[in-house]
Chains A and B, each alone.
Chain A
Amino acid sequence: MRDVLIVIPAYNEAENLPKVFDDLKKNGGFADVLFVNDCSRDGTKDLLEKSGFDYIENIFNVGYAMSVQTGIKYAVRNGYSYVIQMDADGQHVTSEAKKLYEYIKENKCDIVIGSRYLRKTSYKCSATRRFGTKIFELIIKIFCRKKITDPLSGFQCLNRRVMEKYSVSSFYPEYPDTNLIMEMIFLGYKIKEVSVQMHSREFGKSMHGGILKPFKYMVSMFYSIALILLQNIRRSKHE
């Protein structure tokens, strides 16, 4: 058993998985790998079964965040020191995951975020997505006085302290993005960013695709951020 576990939640990613498997087999020797299949209906389970990678099959569909949390809980229970969160859509590159792992070990920080925007890379995203990211970057800068260039990145490496915190059921939110980063900054966790190369999704739709979903996401995110800010005011008053 290695000391780092790559957790990959998957939902209807059968078309993208073969490429992810190849990448993991080629470059993922430094880590153990665990997929969390969130009751996919497109043959993802069969592919995982044949791939030889360990996987957890959810009993029913619990969503992205809770699938990630399942993987984190698994890592905590099995004694891993680090977890790397990756997506199953092929956006995240295993060799870049190694960069995050090496960085967290060398720099003794709690969370390392793989950023698409820290340095200029060949990654291309839509203007609306970039605009949304900029808004959240600005919010973090104003309220936490910290520059996080890619707060929407799910490509992260966590140490044991963070894993234990995230595995508490009531702590981990439905959308673990800017709100969670802000909460962790307020709680005193050390967060760093590393520039990484990412690919665009080749097949299928993103979980934030469509018209209504991004709107719902933005509203939920602003609401969560407002609550965190209120909690932090209360917390700082108590201290």
Chain B
Amino acid sequence: MNNIFFVIIILILIIYVFMDIKTKKITVRESFWWSFVLIVMLLLAIFPYSIDIAAGWVGISYPPAFLLTLCSLFLLMMNYKSSKKISNMNQKIISLEQDLAMKKEKTHREKKKNG
């Protein structure tokens, strides 16, 4: 019963992401990792014992702790990716700002020259 509940929740989330891609609210590239993790979560909800096996492989005796670690790592990775994106965008915005400011100065100077 529990499994069905989680499967339904995850399916709703997958549809939500898919709709966002369709309406261009998120790009295909940006949605990739979210789709990937949702599919992994779906598989884990369908085959819950796979967590026990995977936890055993990495030597974690308490499987929910393994799941929590995976989730934390994923969220940290996504957060870091966002920081990188913000830095990159900041640089581009400032570069655009500088170009625009210089163009404004040029126009202002030409206007002054032409009276």
B-binding residues in A (CB < 8 A):
36, 54-60, 62, 66, 69-70, 73-74, 77, 169-170
Question: Which of B101, B102, B109 neighbours the largest number of chain A CB atoms within 10 Å of its CB?
Answer: B101
Among all A-B residue pairs, the 7 with the closest Cβ atoms? A56-B105, A70-B98, A169-B95, A56-B101, A59-B97, A169-B91, A58-B101
Chain A contact surface mostly: mixed
CA distance A88 to B53 in the complex (A): 66
A56 adjacent to B97 (CB under 8 Å): no
B85 CB-CB contact with A under 8 Å: no
> Looking at chain B, what size class is its interface with the partner chain?
10 to 19
B102 adjacent to A77 (CB under 8 Å): yes
B94 CB-CB contact with A under 8 Å: yes
Residue interface mask B56-89, A partner, CB < 8 A = 1 = 0000000000000000000000000000000000
A-binding residues in B (CB < 8 A):
91-92, 94-95, 97-98, 100-102, 104-105, 109
Which residues from B are CB-within-8-Å of A69? 98
B105 adjacent to A57 (CB under 8 Å): yes
B97 adjacent to A62 (CB under 8 Å): yes
B94 adjacent to A66 (CB under 8 Å): yes
- Show 9 residue pairs from A and B whose CB-CB distance is below 8 angstroms, ordered by the A residue: A57-B101, A57-B104, A59-B104, A66-B94, A66-B98, A70-B101, A74-B102, A74-B105, A170-B91
Q: Which residue of B lies closest to A52 (CB)?
A: B112
Which residues from A are CB-within-8-Å of B104? 56-57, 59
CA distance A167 to B95 in the complex (A): 10
Which residues from B are CB-within-8-Å of A57? 101, 104-105
A73 adjacent to B98 (CB under 8 Å): yes
B94 adjacent to A169 (CB under 8 Å): yes
